[in-house]
Homo-oligomer: A and B are copies of this chain.
């Protein structure tokens, strides 16, 4: 039974982490886990974990713990990972290539089906079997292929314009790696990834050691 209340963004950010640990437990053949054991593994308090999972109706049984397989699939369904997504990559530089390779090798359920570039030296090449195409043709491709997500690995200056074009073409989400917060119409979700934020948290913790 899934509650349909508004879940805070902080909870949503913890779910992928819970899911990763559950996946590792599944691979090791672990059937069930208590919130205390799960706390020890993930670094979140047992009370935090119980509270987070209660947002979605619980799943645990008193004195038994959580079913690893059940909780993994339930969290996957909550996140919308029980289906696949088609993505286009914009920008075939090193970061774009790294992300295309990552999604290819780790079979994440998010498939890059087209890569777009303005650099004529890259257009026509292939990355993990996927063709690098002329950015001019991106709208037609997104419409024809029913692309769900646009991944932006362009420069900071080009990112918002690329985002606008992808939204116009009909994507439902943007995963942005350009170092700027891009804006989207209210019907398009966006994750602005700032990799240096984690470096700054690291600096803080280094100075407290």
Contacts and interface: CB of A to CB of B under 8 A. Distances in A.
B175 A189 contact: no
Copies of this protein in the assembly total 2
Contact of A200 (B16, B194, B196, B200): B16
A104 B101 CA distance: 23
Q: A78, A101, A205 — which one has the most chain B CB atoms within 10 A of its CB?
A: A205
Q: A79, A172, A197, A203 — which one has the most chain B CB atoms within 10 A of its CB?
A: A203
B198 A193 contact: yes
A203 B139 CA distance: 21
A173 to B, nearest CB: 4
Contacts of A208: 189
Given A94-B98, A97-B94, A98-B98, A17 B202 contact: no
A84 B17 CA distance: 31
Interface of A: 9-10, 12-13, 15-17, 19-20, 78-81, 85, 93-95, 97-99, 101-102, 106, 108, 110, 148-149, 172-175, 179, 186-191, 193-209
17 contacts: A16-B196, A80-B206, A94-B97, A98-B98, A99-B195, A102-B179, A108-B196, A148-B206, A172-B206, A173-B202, A173-B205, A173-B206, A186-B209, A187-B209, A189-B205, A189-B208, A191-B205
